[in-house]
Chains A and B, each alone.
Chain A
Amino acid sequence: MKEEIIIAGFGGQGVLSMGKILAYAALTDNLEVTWMPSYGPEQRGGTANVTVILSDKQISSPVLDTFDTAVILNQQSLDKFESKVKPGGTLIYDSYGIHRSPTRTDINVYKVDAMEATFDFKNAKTYNMIVLGALLKIRPVVPLESVMTGLKKVLPARHHHLLDLNRQAITKGMDLVKL
């Protein structure tokens, strides 16, 4: 098993922490994992992306040119990474703020209206968890319980009362996807 994932969007959308939760889930499942962020001031407002590789074998390069799965949350990221998805791979995107839809036909494209779904929660911070739920439904690389364990490690203890809300958001994201 090996899954090479890029998650890309604006800084502030929770791109890096979504990748981090995925990485911790992989740790729980005894997988090998690398989490390589684009780092620096761009995290705050500019574009941000993170490459997460999960594998049952040792991982060589943490830097990749093509991906099994791309999670795309803004137009710039779509422009940059649509061509980088391997043929037969997966592209998941939120149409919110995207004015040119993906055009490739040799990959599996999923539209997930995660931004709209945050309105149901009346909490914009659930956004990345909804996206994560959608990703896990489409690519079940780690089980939900491992994700919850991962989340517990990423969230500081003072935010642990939010675990349940996050679980709901992940479930919501799963429900948004009709396979």
Chain B
Amino acid sequence: MEEVRLMKGNEAIAHAAVRYGVDGYFGYPITPQSEVLETLEELMPWETTGMVVLQAESEVAAINMVYGGASTGKAVMTSSSSPGVSLMQEGLSYIAAGELPALVVNVMRGGPGLGTIHPSQADYFQATKGGGHGDYHFIVLAPATVQEMADFVGLGFDLAFKYRTPVMMLADGIVGQMMEKVVLPPARPRRTEQEIAEQCPWAVTGRPEWRKPNVLTTLELDSYKMEENNRRYQQTYDLIKRNEVRYKEYHTEDAEYLIVAFGSIARICLKAIEDARERGIKIGLVRPVTLWPFPEEIISELSKKVKGILVVELNAGQMIEDVRMAAKDRVPVYHFGRLGGIVPNPQEVLDAFEDRFLKSK
């Protein structure tokens, strides 16, 4: 029987990382995600699995440690919150350009600037459109439960190594700070040097006599070659788009209206939808689990059946652009959001829905 435990989302990430056999975590404290580093320091995994845990001097250093560790074929990760993730954008661009597997967790808080410490989803653009310089994407996973905070560590690394790409877990202060039940993934050993050498022939590990030097660089002064590199990145992104779209549907079979929301906000919407259904208003919910690649097909399909779509997010309207592109003007697509760290309750969501769709204008 698997043990059911009660813990915060941030703590679940730390536990899951040790159990997955992550080689290294490099991070810098910032609310509301410091429990990830704190829990790892408390677990002392260097005594058990040999995992390296290091508090870096800054988020800039942390992401470059991830770049270095990933270059040697190791499974490495970091976590931060919005202002810290802004500091990591340069490093993320390098990691994407270096085609390196890595996991980055953003437990979002209200911005811009130093902002608040309360939940937000205002980094959607930054995460899904490539926040640093250059033409790149990475897979973005949006957990809605503490269980998914734990599960997406493993899923994130599996995808990262499969496609040689960084993966971001885009969470928020709610799912980071709340406690609920979780079953941790089974423990497994870290990969051996032999396994890394077999799985990651590109890894910078020190050159044996039989091979040429492995050089991990993102510099290419020959623009024709750099264009070729870019074409290769785009091919990977196309493959990811074909294979890795993930989403969850709730009450969509008979839905007359659709709400699209991600992360913990989708749960608030689900409660609003359940309340609405008691009054005979048939709303369905699509919760994108991958924000990039975006589940445009299902939204496109459902837009042919419903009368309207409400996009609920903790920002001024970011994911709504992707929803509108998928819905292609077939039905009205409206937005409801709270900003700067304010979380709407289910009633507010319902009020917003009625205001957009049920009141005669």
The judgment on whether A and B are partners is: yes
Decide if B267 touches A62 in the complex (CB within 8 Å): yes
Contact with B along A62-94 (1 / 0, CB 8 A): 111110000000000000000000000000000
Question: How many whole Å from A152's CB to the nearest CB in chain B?
Answer: 13
Determine whether B204 belongs to the interface, using a CB cutoff of 8 Å to chain A.
no
Query: Is residue B268 within 8 Å, beta carbon to beta carbon, of the partner chain?
Result: yes
Chain B residues with Cβ under 8 A from A107's Cβ? none
Given A27-B4, A60-B274, A63-B268: A37 touches B343 (CB 8 Å cut-off): no
Instruction: Give A138 to B9 CA distance when docked, in angstroms.
Output: 31
Contacts A23-B6, A63-B343; is A33 near B181 (CB within 8 Å)? yes
Asked whether, in the complex, the Cβ of A60 is within 8 Å of the Cβ of B181, the reply is no
Is B296 engaged at the interface, CB distance under 8 Å to the other chain? no
CB atoms of B179 and A35 under 8 A apart = yes
- B-contact 0/1 string along A24-68, CB 8 Å cutoff: 100100001111110111000000000000000001111111100
- Can you name the residue of chain B whose Cβ is closest to the Cβ of A62? B178
A20 at the interface (CB under 8 A from B): yes
Q: Are B346 and A34 closer than 8 Å at their CB atoms?
A: no
Given A24-B6, A27-B6, A62-B267, A37 and B177 touching (CB < 8 A)?
A: yes
Write the chain A residue with the least CB distance to B274.
A60
Q: Is the CB of B32 within 8 A of A65?
A: no
Known: A23-B6, A40-B32. A60 touches B267 (CB 8 A): yes
Q: Is the pair A40, B345 in contact by a Cβ cutoff of 8 Å?
A: no
Q: CB of B90 within 8 A of chain A?
A: no
A: interface residue count bin: 20 to 34
Instruction: Please give me the residue from chain A that is nearest to B346 by CB atom.
Output: A61
Q: Verify A62–B180 contact, CB threshold 8 A.
A: yes
Least Cβ distance of B337 to chain A in Å? 15
Give the residues in chain B near A65, CB-CB below 8 Å.
345-348
| Cβ–Cβ contact B31 & A20, under 8 A | no
Nearest-neighbour CB distance to chain B for A147, whole angstroms, equals 14
| Contact with B180, one of A35, A39, A41 (Cβ below 8 angstroms) | A35
Residues of B with C-beta under 8 A to A41: 117
Q: Which residues of B contact A39 (CB under 8 A)?
A: 31-32, 117, 173, 177
Chain B neighbourhood of A40, CB < 8 A? 31-32, 117-118
Q: Are the CB atoms of B270 and A34 closer together than 8 Å?
A: no
Contact of B179 among A34, A60, A64 (CB under 8 A): A34
CB 8 Å contact bits of B163-200 with A (1 = contact, 0 = none): 00000000001100111110000000000000000000
Asked if B179 contacts A23 (CB within 8 A), the reply is yes
B264 at the interface (CB under 8 A from A): yes
Closest residue of chain B to A28, judged by CB?
Answer: B6
Nearest Cβ in chain A — how far from B30, in angstroms?
Answer: 12
Q: Mark each residue of chain B from 19 to 35: 1 if its CB lies under 8 Å from any CB of chain A, else 0.
A: 00000000000011000
CB pair B31–A33 under 8 Å, yes or no, is no
Task: Report if B271 contacts A (CB, 8 A).
Answer: yes
Q: Please report the C-alpha to C-alpha distance between residue A64 and residue B181 in the assembled complex, in whole angstroms.
A: 19
Please name 6 further chain A to chain B contacts, defined as beta carbons within 8 Å, in addition to the given A27-B5, A33-B6, A62-B178, sorted by A numbering. A32-B180, A39-B31, A40-B117, A40-B118, A62-B267, A64-B346
A positions within 8 Å CB-CB of B: 20, 23-24, 27, 32-37, 39-41, 59-66, 153
Report 30 cross-chain contacts, Cβ distance below 8 Å, ordered by A residue.
A20-B179, A24-B6, A27-B4, A27-B5, A32-B180, A33-B6, A34-B178, A34-B180, A35-B6, A35-B180, A36-B174, A36-B177, A37-B177, A37-B178, A39-B31, A39-B32, A39-B173, A40-B32, A40-B117, A59-B180, A60-B268, A60-B274, A61-B267, A61-B345, A63-B264, A63-B346, A64-B345, A64-B346, A65-B345, A65-B348
Closest 3 CB pairs of A and B: A65-B345, A61-B271, A35-B179
